Amino acid sequence: MQGKILKLLLDADNYISGQAISEKLSVSRQAVNKSIMSLRNKGYEIESVTNKGYLLKKCPNVLNEELIKYNLKTDILGKKIKVLDSVTSTNDYLKKLGSKGEEHGTIIVAREQTAGKGRLGRVWQTKKDDGIAFSILLRPELSPVEVSSITPLTGLAVCKAINEFCMLDSKIKWPNDVIVGRKKLVGILTEMSAEFDRVDYVVIGIGINVEHTVFPEEIAHKATSILLETGRHIDKNKFLAGVITNLEKVLFENNYRLSGSVLKDYTDHCATIGRQVTFTRGSRNITGMAVSISNSGELEVMLSNGTIVTVNSGEVTVQGIY
């Protein structure tokens, strides 16, 4: 009901009377007043003028289900979406739901994570309202090996959404960090539950630095945020809806495959290609030139003797980035 009133207020380009709202939604005037009060308590600025009605003047810039849904243009992703004030990790929360049968496309967003996880066992900090942390549950009809394309496709979708919405020139640091210049803006952690030949579910976790102005000392030299890069406070709900809309397009239209034009698109957005990279094989550090990306998302590196080796995970240091 509150969501429906909000939608009417968002759609209206002028005052809308309490009477009109109660007729449109077939609810009492009292119920309308009550919902308006609770929207105000949530931070919506709603002006009310006698004989004219209500006018929505300002929405709170805090992640919230109604505003994300209002801006979403998807068929599947986010049809079920929940924003939590605080959670340990959106990935862990959604994995629990996944093992109990949660449906394909469900999204969990958090205003704060108290035990956010990064790749390779690292910590991902999300303090209240300074970033966007969210996870998406997918039940793709893929074999476990085919899941490897999901993370690069996600990186591409997020990178393009950032460029369109924030007017930035972000790029992908293989396999899936989104960077601006030499600094990281987005991290992605994909986890999966599978049997030998069949995927049960995949959880894609995405952390975007939005309002950060300071970072922990150990990452301060290599982390950035949308605020630091643009000097602007973006509308987090609109932006997140745009990111999710892009994700649906890139993941589903390509049937989770990284080939043909989307592979070219990924390569064009990949800052790692054409740079010298160093990675570890056993106990050895190997250096070469990153030349291309394979259909399964591996990095193809040319060594000084001309041989090409493929790198499929772990840490890669890219000269000139981090």
- Site residues for ligand BTN per CB under 6 A: 89-91, 113, 116-119, 122, 124, 133-135, 177, 187-189, 205-207
Q: Report the amino acid identity of residue 258.
A: L
- The nearest distance, CB 207 to ligand BTN, in angstroms, is 3
Nearer to ligand BTN by Cβ, of 120 and 282: the residue is: 120
Report the Cα 43 to chain-centroid distance in Å: 24
Give Cα separations from 49 to 17, 30, 53, 213, 312 (angstroms).
9, 17, 5, 39, 62
Q: In a 10 Å sphere around its CB, with 0-12 CB exposed, 13-18 middle and 19+ buried, how is residue 257 labelled?
A: middle
- The nearest distance, CB 187 to ligand BTN, in angstroms, is 2
- The nearest distance, CB 227 to ligand BTN, in angstroms, is 18
Give the separation between CA 36 and CA 191, rounded to whole angstroms.
41
Nearer to ligand BTN by Cβ, of 91 and 237: the residue is: 91
Give the separation between CA 170 and CA 148, rounded to whole angstroms.
22
Q: In a 10 Å sphere around its CB, with 0-12 CB exposed, 13-18 middle and 19+ buried, how is residue 118 labelled?
A: middle
- The nearest distance, CB 304 to ligand BTN, in angstroms, is 30
Spatial contact of 206 and 156, defined as CB atoms under 8 Å apart:
no
Q: How many CA atoms lie within 13 A of 62 on its CB side?
A: 15
Nearer to ligand BTN by Cβ, of 187 and 297: the residue is: 187
- The nearest distance, CB 133 to ligand BTN, in angstroms, is 4
The b-or-e profile of 67-95 (16+ CB within 10 A means b, else e) is bbbbbbebeebbebbbbbeebebbbbbbb
Nearer to ligand BTN by Cβ, of 280 and 295: the residue is: 280
Helix (H, G, I), strand (E, B) or coil at 271: coil
Nearer to ligand BTN by Cβ, of 113 and 149: the residue is: 113
Residue number of the CB atom closest to ligand BTN: 187
Nearer to ligand BTN by Cβ, of 133 and 157: the residue is: 133
Nearer to ligand BTN by Cβ, of 90 and 245: the residue is: 90
Give the separation between CA 162 and CA 166, rounded to whole angstroms.
5
- The nearest distance, CB 123 to ligand BTN, in angstroms, is 9
Nearer to ligand BTN by Cβ, of 74 and 135: the residue is: 135
The interaxial angle of helices 150-166 and 236-253, nearest 10 deg, is 140
- The nearest distance, CB 88 to ligand BTN, in angstroms, is 8
- The nearest distance, CB 27 to ligand BTN, in angstroms, is 37
Give the separation between CA 14 and CA 55, rounded to whole angstroms.
6
